[in-house]
Structure 1
Amino acid sequence: MFSNASPKGPAPCTHCAYLFHLLYLEVKVLKEHTMEIHRFILKKEEEETIYRDANYVLDRVGISKSTLLRYQGRGMITVAKIVNKKKLYRDLDVERLRKIYWGVGE
């Protein structure tokens, strides 16, 4: 069948192997650049994000603590991070919940 056959199948021609190698190197560089861009975007978002504590959420939305916990359980608002045992929410999520709760359209 093939003169250079191996147990796994025919060996690729040298030209194809070279092209695959070049393609691999290009894809590797693209992946590194993509990861760099992704890290930059995450860092930028983190810098621009405003975090609010639960008391702010209660006052801003006009709900009780039990309602906030219920909405958390339903996934309508999520805890962005916990600092010193305090739950913090993203301001964007607080405003979205406020609009949903009061039926305010955009």
Structure 2
Amino acid sequence: EWKEAFSQWYDCSTNVCIARLGFTRWLEQGEKIDHDAVRNTLKTMRNWQDEIVNYHRCRWTNATIEGRHNRIKAYQRRHYFTRNRECYKAGILIECNRLRLPC
């Protein structure tokens, strides 16, 4: 229930002031739960509170960058012994932009 309250806060906060207030309430609800995992989560959330609430300023995330980073890492694992550097770089560019290529 507490976790679902966080998801609802994340989706439904309309601006930064409301988001900050809702986040503070969510933290207070978590303090009432006596569990090690919850305490660790609260510690992390307090440390990153400004960054988490700032999402509500413009609602941008770095998900696209993280996705491309994961694709590059996966490509590196699959092609560890590629000898031709130009083919390796071209493969990474194709891997990262394959959704933009015309069929």
TM over 0.5: no
Q: Going by fraction, where is strand more abundant, 1 or 2?
A: 1
TM bracket (short chain): under 0.3
**Over alpha carbons, which structure has the higher Rg?**
1
Q: TM-score, normalised by structure 2?
A: 0.26
Q: Going by fraction, where is helix more abundant, 1 or 2?
A: 2
Q: TM-score, normalised by structure 1?
A: 0.25
